[in-house]
Amino acid sequence: MPVFQDSAALYNILGGFFDTRVRFTEEAHLIHQVGGPILFVFEEPAAQICWVPVESGREAPFELALDGQGPSPLLTFRQSGDTAHRFWHGGLDLQQALARQQVRAQGPLSRAMKLLPHLDAIYPLYADYLQAVGRGDLVLPAHGGGR
């Protein structure tokens, strides 16, 4: 059984996390250094969420475009909903995940280096968020990154 039973559940939970938490972190501003939209393509369930940078001065540095509605992305990350769920817990080493094809990337990966080292500050927010929306049942036990 996938963690997110259907696309609606993924948009609701993961989309909700991006929308209400990630967008308002200090680290989110690094998307301007990444230099373009970041598209997450999910399988099982099928879904697409794009982080679309918006000009500075707005409340949050990027907005979400769901279901293929966004502009053409600079970077694309394809993964299953379960892999994404694990990733946002901080439980996945991206270098290993790429090598094992759990995550497939397209575009200039080096651009993501502006953001990736700073995600350590965001990962703890995911479990918090799941608890806050009454989905503490989805919180994964802590585990090593498995370098």
Partner 1 sequence: MSQAASRSIQALVARDYGQPPTVEWVELEPPGAGEVRVRLQAAGVCHSDWHAVTGRLPMPMPMVLGHEGSGVVDAVGAGVRGVAPGDRVVVTWVPSCGACYWCLNGSSELCAEANRGAVDGTGADGRTPLSWRGAPLHRFSWAGTLAAEAVVPEAAVVRIGGDLPWREAALLGCAVQTGVGAALRSPIRAGDTVAVLGLGGVGLNVVQGARIAGAARIIGADPVAWKGELALQMGATDLVGSGQDPLSAVLDLTDGRGVDVAFEAVGSVALMAAAFNVARRGGTAVMVGVPDPTEELSVNAFAFPSQEKTLTGSWLGGSHPARDIPRLEALWRAGLLQLAPLLSHDYALADAPQALQDLLAGRVARAVVTFPDR
Cβ distance to partner 1 smaller for residue 15 or 91: 91
Q: Could you tell me the smallest distance in angstroms from the CB atom of residue 117 to partner 1? A: 7
The correct pick among 111, 133, 135, 138 for binding partner 1 (CB under 8 A) is: 111
Cβ distance to partner 1 smaller for residue 71 or 108: 108
How many residues touch partner 1 under the rule CB under 8 A: the total is 16
Under the criterion CB under 8 A, does residue 39 sit at the interface with partner 1?
Answer: no
Cβ distance to partner 1 smaller for residue 10 or 112: 112
Q: Could you tell me the smallest distance in angstroms from the CB atom of residue 112 to partner 1? A: 7
Q: What is the dihedral of CA 64, 70, 72, 74, to 10 degrees?
A: 0
108-136 burial string, b = 16+ CB within 10 Å, else e?
eeebbeebeeebeebeebbbebbeeeeee
Q: Which listed range, 20-28, 43-51, 92-100, 126-134, lies at the site for partner 1 (CB under 8 A)?
A: 92-100
Which residue do the tokens 């991206």 mark?
Answer: 94
Under the criterion CB under 8 A, does residue 109 sit at the interface with partner 1?
Answer: yes
Q: Do 73 and 37 form a contact (C-beta atoms < 8 A)? A: yes
Q: Which listed range, 14-22, 97-105, 124-132, 133-141, lies at the site for partner 1 (CB under 8 A)?
A: 97-105
Give whole-number Cα distances, 28 to 17, 20, 21, 44, in Å: 13, 12, 10, 26
Phi/psi of residue 144, nearest 5 degrees? -70, 160
CA–CA gap between residue 112 and residue 109 (Å, rounded): 5
Cβ distance to partner 1 smaller for residue 63 or 93: 93
Q: Do 69 and 11 form a contact (C-beta atoms < 8 A)? A: no
Q: Point out which residues bind partner 1 (CB under 8 A).
A: 95, 98-99, 101, 104-113, 117, 147
